[in-house]
Amino acid sequence: MSVRGIDILRDPSLTHSTAYTPQDRERLGLRGLLPYGYNDLSQQEERVLQNMRRKENDIEKYIFLSALQDRNETLYYHTALNNIEEVMPLIYTPTVGQACREFAQIFRRPKGFYITPSDRSQIAQILDNWPEKNVRVVVVTDGQRILGLGDLGANGMGIPIGKLALYTICAGIHPKYCLPVMFDVGTNNEELRADPLYLGYPEERLGGDTYLELMDEFVAAIREKYGNALIQFEDFLTPNAYKLLNRYRDEVLCFNDDVQGTAAVALAGVMAGAKAADVPFRDLRIMFLGAGSAATGIGDLMARALESEGLSQDEALSRLWFVDINGLVVDGRDDLQPHNMPYAHKEEQLGFLAAIRRIKPQVLIGATGAPGTFTKDVVQLMAEQNERPIIFALSNPTSRAECTAQQAYEWSQGRALFASGSPFEPVMLNDTIYKPGQGNNAYVFPGIGLGALAGKLTLLPEELFLTAAKTLADCVSEEDLRFGSLYPPLTEIRNVSRKIAANVARAGFEMGVSSLSALSDGQLEAQLDSETYVPIYD
C-alpha cells in the first residue's frame, strides 16, 4: 500500500508539505491535515530564506537548516542548490566547525550510523538497522582531527553529515544513497569525556591492531552489505589517514579526502594561478607550510602532475619544499614521518622566512591549522620575489586560516593570487575588487564520487585525482582570473562536478578499473543523467 495521510507528511523524503494541490490532497488523504493555502516549491524556498535570515548567528542557521533537512529533504536541497553561495558556508565550512564543537549540545535528531568497540563482530548485523539498502557512498570519520580543531570524538559526526549533503548539492547524488558513519573509538579529549552531555564512547581512544581490526570489520561489512560502495575517509589523524588509505586503496573503492581531495583542489588552483602569473606550471617552485596529510597529499599529486609535464621524478620532487614546526624539511632530520621523506632535500636547516629567501618559491601553500602564520613579513617577501605571488591559506575553518584575503591583497599591493579553504568576502583595494577563490574540496570530491558511480569504477587510482584537478583548472575562465579568483564560481559547481565525473569515469574505464564492458559517450551521458538527483517535487 502506498504511503498516505499523515505518514506522507512526516516522511522527509516524500513530503511536499504545503505544495499539495487540492486534487493531491483528495487522492492522498490529506484533507484537513494542511492549511487551506497552497505554496509551490519556489514560495516554500522564499519562506525558508526569510526564516533562516532572521536567525541571529550562523550556528542558529545551521540548526535551522538541519531541522529542515529532517522534515523536507527536497526543499532543503532545492534551497541549498539555488542559494549555494549563502547556504554552503552554513552547512559546511566554516560553520560546521562550531557545529562539531557543540554537536552534543545542539543534538536534535539522530542522523548517520555509529560504530563503537562494543559492536565488534556485529557490524554487518547492525548495518541491517540502517533503513536504506542501496547505499552507494559512505563518508566515515573517527573524529580525531576535525578540521583544525583537533580530537572532537563523536562530535565529529557533523563532518560526514555535511560532506554527504555536499555530494547531493554539488553533484546530484541522491541522499538515499548516502551513509554518514562515525567510527567512534573513544576520544583523548578529557574535557569531552567529562562532559555529561557528551554522546560518544566515553573511553580513551582505541589504537594499534585493535583499531585496525575494527576498521577491517567495518570495511568488510560495507562491501558485504552494499557491494562496491564508495568509501571516503575524512578527518583522520595523519598517521591513520595514510595507514588506512594504503591499507585499502588497492582492494576497495575508496579515497581519503584530506589527502587526495585537498590535493586535487589545490593542484587545480595552482595550475590556474600559474596561468594567471604567466609562469609555466613545470617551472614552479612550491613551498608548503605544514607537513601533515593534507600538505604531503598535495605534494604527492603535484609531483605526479610535474612528471606528466615531462620532468623526471627527482626533478619533480626538487620543486616541492616543506616547512613544519621544526623548520625546513631536510635530509638528516630524525623526526620525520615516512610520508615526509621524499621531500627531505639536501639543504641546511632553515626557518620559514629564511627558507623563502633561499628557495624563492612562486607558490606558498598553508595547511597548518595555525592561524596567522602567513605574517606581513611572509607575504611581503613573497611579493618582493614574485610579480604575482600565489598564496593559498587552506586551513579550515576561517578562524584557522594562515592569513585573510584582505591581508594577502594589502600586503602584496594587490598582486597576490589568493585562495583559501573557507570563504572570504570580496576585497576592495585601490578601486579594484578582488574575489578570492575558495579552494574547497567540494569542487572535486562530489564529481569524483559521481564519476565512480556512473563509470562503475572498482578502484580510484591516483591518476584519477590528477584528471579531476586538470578538469577543474580548465573550468576557470579568463574572467575568473581577471577578478583574482582561481576557481569557478560556486554557482557553477554542478556543471563542474558533471565535467569531472565524465572525465573520471572515462579515465577509469580506460585504466581498466571499471566493471563495464563498454562505455560510449552516449552511454556515459545517459548514466550521468540517471545518477543526477534534481530536488523538485515529483
Q: 364 in helix, strand or coil?
A: strand
Domain spanning 260-439: which superfamily?
NAD(P)-binding Rossmann-like Domain (3.40.50.720)
pLDDT average, residue stretch 281-288: 97
Amino acid at residue number 86: E
- Detail the DSSP E strand segments found in 148-261: 178-183, 230-233, 254-256
As to burial, measured by CB atoms within 10 angstroms (0-12 exposed, 13-18 middle, 19+ buried), residue 3 is: middle
Q: What is the DSSP letter of 205?
A: P
Report, as an integer, the average pLDDT of 443-457: 98
- How far apart, in whole angstroms, are the C-alpha atoms of residue 24 and residue 14? 13
Q: Over range 431-453, report the average pLDDT.
A: 95
Cα separation, 132 vs 177, whole angstroms: 7
- Positive or negative torsion for Cα 110, 114, 118, 123: positive
Q: Does the predicted model carry a pTM greater than 0.85? A: yes
d(CA 152, CA 188): 9
Residue positions counted in the chain: 538
pLDDT of res. 47: 98
pLDDT in tens, 84-99: 999 999 999 899 999 9
For the beta sheet containing 286-289, the strands, ordered from the edge strand earlier in sequence to the opposite edge, are: 327-328, 320-324, 286-289, 363-366, 390-393, 417-420, 437-438
CA distance 418 to 408: 7
Q: Using the structure block, give the residue that is written with the C-alpha cell 548517520.
A: 112
Q: What is the DSSP letter of 257?
A: I
The SS3 call for residue 289 is strand
456 catalytic? Reply is no
CB 426 within 8 A of CB 313: no
pLDDT value at 166 more than 60: yes
Instruction: Cell 602564520: give the residue.
Output: 373
**Torsion angle (degrees, nearest 10) of CA 396, 402, 406, 412:** -140
Helix (H, G, I), strand (E, B) or coil at 328: strand
**pLDDT score for 129:** 98
Q: Express each pLDDT in 260-278 by its tens digit.
A: 999 999 999 999 999 999 9
Instruction: CATH 3.40.50.720 in the chain: give the residue spans.
Output: 260-439
| High-pLDDT (> 90) share of the chain, % | 93
Where on the phi/psi map is residue 156: left (φ > 0), alpha (ψ -120 to 50), or beta?
A: alpha
Q: Report the pLDDT value the prediction gives residue 237, as an integer from 0 to 100.
A: 94
pLDDT in the model for residue 1: 46
How far apart (Å, rounded) are the C-alpha atoms in residues 436 and 434?
6
- First-to-last C-alpha distance (Å) of the chain: 18
Topology of 110-252 in CATH?
Answer: Rossmann fold (3.40.50)
Q: Is the pLDDT of residue 167 over 50?
A: yes
What backbone phi and psi angles, to 5 degrees, belong to 148? Answer: -105, 25
Of the candidates 163, 435, 456, 499, the residue annotated as catalytic is 163
* DSSP secondary structure letters along 217-244: HHHHHHHHHHSS-EEEE-S--HHHHHHH
Element of type H or E holding 53 = helix 41-54
Give 489-514 pLDDT, tens digit per residue: 999 999 999 999 999 999 999 999 99
DSSP state string for 95-118: HHHHHHHTTTTT--S--SEEE-GG
Is domain 449-531 given the CATH code 3.40.640.10 in the classification?
no
Band of residue 397 on the pLDDT scale cut at 50, 70, 90: confident
pLDDT value at 108 more than 90:
yes
User: From the candidates 62, 76, 77, 92, which is the catalytic residue?
Assistant: 92
Q: Where does the chain hold its CATH 3.40.50.10380 domain(s)?
A: 110-252, 449-531
For residue 247, CA distances in Å to 219, 391, 500 come to 11, 33, 26
| Cell triple for 317 | 620532487
Residue range 301-311: average pLDDT?
A: 96
pLDDT band at 369 (very low <50, low <70, confident <90, very high): confident
- Residues 146, 154 contacting (CB under 8 angstroms): no
Strand ranges for 218-358 from DSSP E? 230-233, 254-256, 286-289, 320-324, 327-328
In the predicted model, what is the mean pLDDT of residues 343-361?
Answer: 95
pLDDT at 294: 86
Query: How distant, in Å, are the alpha carbons of 128, 282, 314, 503 from that of 310?
Result: 50, 8, 12, 22
Q: Is 275 a catalytic residue?
A: no
Mean pLDDT of 70-84: 98
Measured CA to CA, the distance from residue 422 to residue 428 in angstroms comes to 19
Question: Are 120 and 210 spatial neighbours (Cβ–Cβ below 8 Å)?
Answer: no
Residue 252 near residue 219 (C-beta atoms within 8 A): yes
